[in-house]
Structure 1
Amino acid sequence: MTTPPGTGRSADGSLPRSVHAGYALGSLATGAFGTVPGLLLLPYLTDTLGVTAGLAALLVLLPKAWDVLVNPVAGRISDRTRSRWGARRPYLLAAGLALAVLFASIFAAPFGNGSAAAVYVAIAFLATATAFAFFQVPYVAMPAELTADHAERTRLMTWRIAVLALAILVSGAVAPLVVSAGGDGLAGHRWMGLFVAALIALGALGAFLGTRSAPTGTVGESEPTLRAQLAVAGANRPFRALLICFVVQSAGVATILAGVNYFAGQILRDEQSGPTVLFVCFVGPALLVMPIWTRVGARVGKRKALVVASLILAVGALALVAASVLPPVVVYLLVALIGVGYAGQQVFALAMLPDCIADETARTGRRQAGVFTGLWTAGETLGLALGPGIYGLVLQLSGYVSSETGSAAAQSDPARLGVLLGFTLIPALLIAPPILLLRQYTLSPPTGRVDDHVARGNEGHNRHEKGAITS
């Protein structure tokens, strides 16, 4: 297979393996930042800096919610960027390295404990979230501009999802161990911040250098304002239903993630190794059951498969309400069941997104991939931000006592009940009911126009098509 000089594409239109691998490395950055703050930042605030649970919930929620506003801005700025590296790659380097440095700064703790430390974390997290938006949005936009071939985008996304799953597993499982190995408290979290920052920098540099031989593609026009974007999405009932369902479910998943440390320490009484074991049980199945979910989706359809996966996720979470009287091995098996449902919920929601984009094109004759993907990314960010906020609010209402020692304080029975319900009942209530919205998810019969359009190589209309996983 030969590659025409200067194109980054082989003669048959496919991309080199080096581009597949290089682009996928960017998921080290997105996976690490998407996982570790949701897993460790809330307990860092409550059990190391001594911040009350309610205030900690706000400090975790607001900077991530800020991304909802920043994402469309980052998209429009990168759309208008012109450079010898293309519109997107400069942001992989600049924003990616800034993201790494700023992430380490979140846990640097220059002011020690107390209110000044809490304000510092909020400012550092806000700056980090802004850098992440300028990395994530251009990164997500690249696949449709690297190639106009649907099958090639699928291969590109397959590499990306594989690295993303690995990044989530490694960052989420190893980060708590680094905290413990570093001596817990402020020192342990400083070492953890440096470890995750190194992962992020590796991912950013890998994506920037790995795509240097790839075609830059053509950036198409997008809707000029957020209001116009919302109007386009609001007119597409399947996308609207899928987006709301995914955002609410993401909040449920993020609530589970935020509660891992608290659940391990207060319910399982295993503050040292418990968080890592729980996280591996939660994420590990994703690496094993993806092929099974693919076959399920092919047999029953993506929408039904998403419903089944969501119910497995919700039922597993609800069953953990009895965790305090169950043997630890049963608890871990239930968490693994939750992980199986989580894997399917993620796969099918992402796989249904490009179907909505194609349906919009078939109905209107216009490509709105950038609009849909920008709103999807913003919605996902909002859902992931709400999870820790919800969990922190539950802790506050149940009387959770904060600590400045690096270890959790002794808790009352109501506080321990709050830890349990925030990890089990609350996520179940967020994950199961939204599947009723999927009754509105009905796509137009295919007309063939979209495939013909893509086959003609109209790359300029394919911008931002994020989720071409299993169409």
Structure 2
Amino acid sequence: MSNTSPPPPDSNNPATQKLSFSTKLAYGAGDLGPAITANVLVFFLMFFFTNVAGLAAGTASNILLIGKVWDAVNDPIVGVLSDRTSHPWGRRYPWMVYGAIPFGIFFFLQWIVPSTNPTVLFWYYVIIAILFNTAYTAVNLPYTALTPELTQDYNERTSLNSFRFAFSIGGSILSLILAQIIFAVFKGNPIEQYLVLGAICAVISVLPLYWCFLGTRKHVIAQLPENPVEDSSTSLPLKEQLRIAFNNRPFLYVIGIYLCSWLGVQLTASILPYFVIDWMKLPSATFTQTAIAVQGTALAMLFVWS
């Protein structure tokens, strides 16, 4: 009688491979730095520009606008370049490894007040915003593309994203706790407060990216034959990819929902310090406590949603 039992799963096949806890932990850590920096920027940067650097609100808004417009431009560019990268480490890791240090440096440089001249400050912060958003994209976008290169198993991908989400939420709350501690230690000197906050967050944000690389590289590099570099001669041109995407009505609905939801998040976070300090006339230390309460509420509601 013939043996009809299915063959054992190939442990080297990314479609069936189970990932270790340490691999998932290292992968999740890769989102800690982007979460910390993004959260600090959304809560504090606008307030820093107007109340510490002394810029007019309109000027500060224009700096943020230019930085985000450039961010929208460089995202697809970095995505295409990452897909076409040929390196012994694969397509994603060179961007993360070489981009991590500039990512930390440009984040820190946003918290320096190099001049009292509004024109000098405007151009300084615009240039730094462009450089930081480029570095952020260079490390974060390839990082998010690691998931299918680690595994193609649905359950394992879900587990990976759970670890990533945990580090993302943890990083956001950690950034506010750090701000609360730093502002309490360095009382009465706002420039020093934000400089120290920027320096500490920069270091904490860079190191987990290397943890992610070191903790997941063995698995990804072993899978490289299963993940060949995209052949640019057969891939669709970027213009054609964009045309297809923007002719996809469900995709446009998702983009619209995402845009509106993040608009609400960004507006709330940006105006919160003004509301707490200037309108409610509460001590500045109260703002970070309020921000922690806001994000804690958001975290609690995630469990209700799930």
Aligned to 1:214: 219
Query: Could you tell me how far 1:287 is from its partner in structure 2?
Result: 3.3
Aligned to 1:157: 161
Q: Cα gap change, 1:83/1:109 in structure 2, threshold over 3 Å: closer, same or farther?
A: same
1:51 paired with 2:55, answer yes
Query: Could you tell me how far 1:101 is from its partner in structure 2?
Result: 1.1
Mapping for residues 37-48 of structure 1, pairs under 5 Å: 37-48=41-52
1:189 paired with 2:194, answer yes
1:279 paired with 2:283, answer no
Aligned to 2:102: 98
- Note if contact 1:8-1:213 (Cα within 8 Å) is conserved in structure 2: no
Query: Could you tell me how far 1:265 is from its partner in structure 2?
Result: 0.2
Q: Which of residues 150, 175, 182 in structure 1 aligns to 2:179?
A: 175
Which segment drifts farther, 179-188 or 133-142? 179-188
**Quick one: which amino acid aligns to residue 232 of structure 1?**
I
Mapping for residues 415-430 of structure 1, pairs under 5 Å: none
Q: Which of residues 235, 238, 254 in structure 1 aligns to 2:250?
A: 238
Mapping for residues 77-92 of structure 1, pairs under 5 Å: 77-92=81-96
Query: Could you tell me how far 1:112 is from its partner in structure 2?
Result: 5.1
Q: Cα gap change, 1:124/1:234 in structure 2, threshold over 3 Å: closer, same or farther?
A: closer
Residues 73-118 of structure 1, C-alpha deviations (whole Å, 9 max, x = no match): 1111111111121110111111122101111111122335643233
TM-score normalised by L of structure 1: 0.58
**Quick one: which amino acid aligns to residue 236 of structure 1?**
N
Q: Distance in 1 between the 2:28 and 2:117 partners?
A: 38
Aligned to 2:111: 107
Aligned to 2:5: none
- Note if contact 1:27-1:163 (Cα within 8 Å) is conserved in structure 2: yes
Q: How many residues align?
A: 288
- Note if contact 1:23-1:207 (Cα within 8 Å) is conserved in structure 2: yes
- Note if contact 1:268-1:274 (Cα within 8 Å) is conserved in structure 2: no
Residues 422-443 of structure 1, C-alpha deviations (whole Å, 9 max, x = no match): xxxxxxxxxxxxxxxxxxxxxx
Query: Could you tell me how far 1:181 is from its partner in structure 2?
Result: 2.8
Please list every run of 5 or more consecutive structure 2 residues that lacks an aligned counterpart in the other structure: 1-9
- Note if contact 2:180-2:289 (Cα within 8 Å) is conserved in structure 1: no
Query: Could you tell me how far 1:180 is from its partner in structure 2?
Result: 4.8
Q: Distance in 2 between the 1:234 and 1:30 partners?
A: 27
1:15 paired with 2:19, answer yes
Residues 319-375 of structure 1, C-alpha deviations (whole Å, 9 max, x = no match): xxxxxxxxxxxxxxxxxxxxxxxxxxxxxxxxxxxxxxxxxxxxxxxxxxxxxxxxx
Please list every run of 5 or more consecutive structure 1 residues that lacks an aligned counterpart in the other structure: 295-471
**Quick one: which amino acid aligns to residue 37 of structure 1?**
L
Q: Cα gap change, 1:238/1:82 in structure 2, threshold over 3 Å: closer, same or farther?
A: same
Aligned to 2:274: 262
Residues 214-263 of structure 1, C-alpha deviations (whole Å, 9 max, x = no match): 224515565421x3222222232212111112112211210001012111
- Kindly, what percent of the aligned residue pairs are identical? 26
Aligned to 2:262: 250
Q: Distance in 2 between the 1:289 and 1:69 partners?
A: 33
Aligned to 1:293: 305
- Note if contact 1:264-1:270 (Cα within 8 Å) is conserved in structure 2: yes
TM-score normalised by L of structure 2: 0.87
Aligned to 1:70: 74
Q: Cα gap change, 1:250/1:287 in structure 2, threshold over 3 Å: closer, same or farther?
A: closer
Helix, strand or coil at the partner of 1:205? helix
**Quick one: which amino acid aligns to residue 42 of structure 2?**
G
Q: Which of residues 127, 140, 147 in structure 1 aligns to 2:151?
A: 147
Higher relative contact order (CA 8 A, sep 6+): 2
Q: Cα gap change, 1:207/1:87 in structure 2, threshold over 3 Å: closer, same or farther?
A: same
- Note if contact 1:48-1:113 (Cα within 8 Å) is conserved in structure 2: no
Tell me the C-alpha RMSD between the 2 structures.
2.2
